[in-house]
């Protein structure tokens, strides 16, 4: 049944692929294959359909220059480089450098229920030398675009907004736990902003955790791996790929998050905030403790004080990223 959709859809792709890109292309995105990790060959056609349709979707709502696996293969062939459909992060990084693309998207998928697949995609940024990994569980139906559009929205927002990601809003009323490098007085200043906004606070920052974290040690949380999602540097990915990995903490981090959730009653989210020394900007990582997933990344929130930055954080937490499809139809000029 699944293969019945592929022939018609590929014909549609050929037509859509001829449509011109919109606007000036100021970022380049290369889309590589998504590999079928299951033994069910009925899903193999998606290895080609998914990246091709994803490239079309990105091209039709963004100003990016988007290339498909075929183009990547041709460019690498000219440089005597071979990249398998299934590639490691470091192989993808090398390919991105060779073809000089700003972002390189690659991943895999696996069927999880009837007509459902779990897609794991990695976005490599050549500028920051980082990998962002996210997951989406999507329904396979006769119309493929709805779930492709969902994945496209994440990629487009991540590229357009310099590495921002949020999986829905983190609304008022939820109970939050914080890890920062702030002093006691500064921590209470941050707590005040969140409590005034209607959030509940778990005061783990006031116990022994606070004595172990400062402006320097908070940077150990900058790169993070959770149960499904991650934001890592190329160095960490390289260590994870080695025979004796030194910087791959996924199991330890997941276990720590599980124990934290069980030890603090009713906490929904762990918010990790790294402030600069002058307290004029901060980066943020948000983790859903129940599911142990990375749900929020913000590279830099600016303000004149801890209190102002905290209020800016609240604004971002309560505002979903824009829908890049809003007001745009497929193939619009």
Most confident of 22-31, 223-232, 248-257, 271-280: 271-280
Give the pTM: 0.85
Q: Which two tokens stand for residue 50?
A: 């998914």
Break the chain down into helix, strand, coil percent, rounded to 5.
40, 25, 35
Question: Would you give the distance in Å from CA 195 to the centre of its chain?
Answer: 28
Span 261-292, pLDDT tens digits: 666 678 999 999 999 999 999 999 999 988 88
User: In this structure, are residues 192 and 329 in contact, taking their beta carbons and an 8 Å threshold?
Assistant: no
Domains of the chain, earliest start first: 4-163 (3.40.50.10070), 175-317 (no CATH)
Task: Please enumerate in sequence order all residues whose Cβ is within 8 A of that of 271, keeping only pairs 6 or more positions apart, or say none.
Answer: 176, 177, 178, 179, 284, 285, 286, 287, 296, 313
Q: Which two tokens stand for residue 19?
A: 């449509």
In whole angstroms, what is the distance from residue 160 CA to residue 84 CA?
28
Strand partners, 125: 103, 130
Residue among 200, 313, 221, 217 nearest 265 (CA)? 200
**Confidence (pLDDT) at 226:** 87
User: In this structure, are residues 209 and 178 in contact, taking their beta carbons and an 8 Å threshold?
Assistant: no
Beta strands in the chain (DSSP E): 28-36, 65-67, 103-113, 116-125, 130-139, 165-166, 175-180, 200-202, 224-225, 230-233, 269-275, 281-288, 293-302
**Confidence (pLDDT) at 116:** 84
Span 110-135, pLDDT tens digits: 988 777 889 999 999 999 999 999 99
In whole angstroms, what is the distance from residue 246 CA to residue 119 CA?
27
In whole angstroms, what is the distance from residue 325 CA to residue 33 CA?
23
pLDDT band at 328 (very low <50, low <70, confident <90, very high): low
In whole angstroms, what is the distance from residue 236 CA to residue 114 CA?
35
Residue 138 has pLDDT above 80, yes or no: no
Residue that has been written with the tokens 């824009």 in this structure: 322
Beta strand pairing call for 200-202 and 175-180: parallel
């Amino acid at each position: 049944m699944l293969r019945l959709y592929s022939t018609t859809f590929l014909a549609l792709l050929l037509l859509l692929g001829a449509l011109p890109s919109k606007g000036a292309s100021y970022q380049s995105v290369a889309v590589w294959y998504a590999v079928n990790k299951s033994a069910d060959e009925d899903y193999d056609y998606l290895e080609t359909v998914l990246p091709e349709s994803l490239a079309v979707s990105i091209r039709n709502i963004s100003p990016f220059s988007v290339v498909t696996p075929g183009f990547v293969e041709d460019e690498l062939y000219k440089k005597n480089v071979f990249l398998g459909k299934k590639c490691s992060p470091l192989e993808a990084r090398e390919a991105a450098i060779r073809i000089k693309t700003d972002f390189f998207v690659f991943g895999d998928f696996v069927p999880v229920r009837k007509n459902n697949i779990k897609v794991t995609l990695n976005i490599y940024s050549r500028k920051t030398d980082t990998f962002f990994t996210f997951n989406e569980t999507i329904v396979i139906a006769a119309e493929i675009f709805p779930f492709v559009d969902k994945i496209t929205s994440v990629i487009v927002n991540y590229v357009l907004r310099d590495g921002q990601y949020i999986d829905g809003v983190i609304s008022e009323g939820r109970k939050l736990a914080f890890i920062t490098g702030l002093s006691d007085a500064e921590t209470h200043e941050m707590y005040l902003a969140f409590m005034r906004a209607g959030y509940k606070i778990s005061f783990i920052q006031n116990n022994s955790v606070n004595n172990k974290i400062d402006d320097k040690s908070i940077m150990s949380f900058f790169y993070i791996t959770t149960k499904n999602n991650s934001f890592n540097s190329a160095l960490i990915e390289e260590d994870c790929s080695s025979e004796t990995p030194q910087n791959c903490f996924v199991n330890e981090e997941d276990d720590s998050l599980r124990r934290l959730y069980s030890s603090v009653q009713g906490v929904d989210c762990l918010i990790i905030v790294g402030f600069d020394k002058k307290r004029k900007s901060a980066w943020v990582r948000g983790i859903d403790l129940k599911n142990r997933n990375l749900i929020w990344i913000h590279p830099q929130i600016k303000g004149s004080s801890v209190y102002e930055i905290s209020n800016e954080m609240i604004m971002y937490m309560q505002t979903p990223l824009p829908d890049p499809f809003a007001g745009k139809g497929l193939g619009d000029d």
